[in-house]
Chain A
Amino acid sequence: MHTPMAVEVPTHPIESSGAVAGLPGVSADFAADKQAFPVPWGKAMMWIFLLSDTFIFTCFLTAYMHVRMSTTVPWPNPSEVFALSLGGEPIPLILIAIMTFILISSSGTMAMAVNYGYRRNRARTASLMLVTAGFGATFVGMQAFEWTKLIVDEGIRPWGNPLGAEQFGASFFMITGFHGMHVSAGVVYLVIVALKVWRGDYERAGGNYEIVEIAGLYWHFVDLVWVFIFAFFYLW
């Protein structure tokens, strides 16, 4: 698993304790093979990144909670704002429901891609990842449609809207915009990794498909954030 690295003999000044002194000592300490988690480092680092992202999204959602609690103007009803007329009858929240199902499906195909990656089934891994990226691109497309409808048809702006509390637009554009940015970045990430899987890069590197699982962690996190946005912004 962990390939032994060639250790260079340090030519830097040594302290009495035997450790490297000065600035080279800093890099020596940070590069020392002291491992807390017995998982591939890339995976541990992705988890740490996702942890920090959790804090960012929670700050956004908490800010949204605060402005919604403190406004004296009625909050626009998301069930009606995001309704869509299909065949004459407006169906509440239908676009958001479809987007939710699309993102969940993309998580399902991603989980299967990770599984086939560990079985070293290149064709299935790459194609499932591309399907996942396709679902993601569809999601972003529907979000673009939703934004257009809100901005052009309903006149919702970050600083105000005709439906009620001004903070509605600010919260909506910031939270869904940041999430949509994550989905877009994820689509690019998935396509790159999928093409490398397809080309056999990881096969040549010793059949190590950890990167598929790491990309998968990021993708599932994007889905996870949507679960919270769906509950707190659209349903609440």
Chain B
Amino acid sequence: MATAHEGAQHPIRVYLLIWALLFVFSAFSYMVDYLHLQGMLRWSLILLFMFLKAGFIVAVFMHMKWERLALKLAILVPPLCLLVLIGLMAIEGDYTFLTRGTAFSPEAAPAGHAEHGGQ
């Protein structure tokens, strides 16, 4: 088992610790909703706890931390191009919203079309 990474032989304590951390972060993100936090504070806290949880799952549970750099790069870099997709779709979504606002508003639409909203 020479090539099986050292990570496989970590004490169980490591996993229990990460497990506990994930519980705490999940509880925190639930509290964000429970306490009705709104606006930027809500969104940044949701993202913060999400990335912390995702990071710990990938790094420790999936043993990515102990893999070689070549594998890390091959798996973690390609998803970055999804950021382009997300960015493009955000711009597009914004534009569609504005278009619907002008084209389907009660003043702009002919009678009878307004209550259907955007189709």
Contact = CB atoms under 8 A, between A and B. Distances in A.
Interface stretch (A22-30, A69-77, A180-188, A195-203): A69-77
B65 interface: no
A67 B4 CA distance: 45
A118 B61 contact: no
A62 B22 contact: no
Interface stretch (A3-11, A36-44, A137-145): A36-44
Contacts of B75: 47, 50-51
Interface in A128-152: none
Nearest to A223: B57
Contact of B12 (A2, A44, A65, A112): A112
A108 B62 contact: no
Contact of B70 (A37, A72, A93, A119): A37
Question: Could you say which interface size class chain B belongs to?
Answer: 35 or more
Contact of B15 (A73, A111, A230): A111
Interface of B: 1-5, 8-10, 12, 15-16, 18-19, 22-23, 26, 29-30, 32-34, 42-43, 46-47, 49-50, 53-54, 57-58, 60-63, 67-68, 70-71, 74-75, 78-79, 82, 85-86, 89-90, 92-94, 96-97, 100-101, 104, 117-118
A44 B71 contact: yes
A227 B50 contact: yes
Contacts of A70: 92-94, 96-97, 100, 118
A65 B22 contact: no
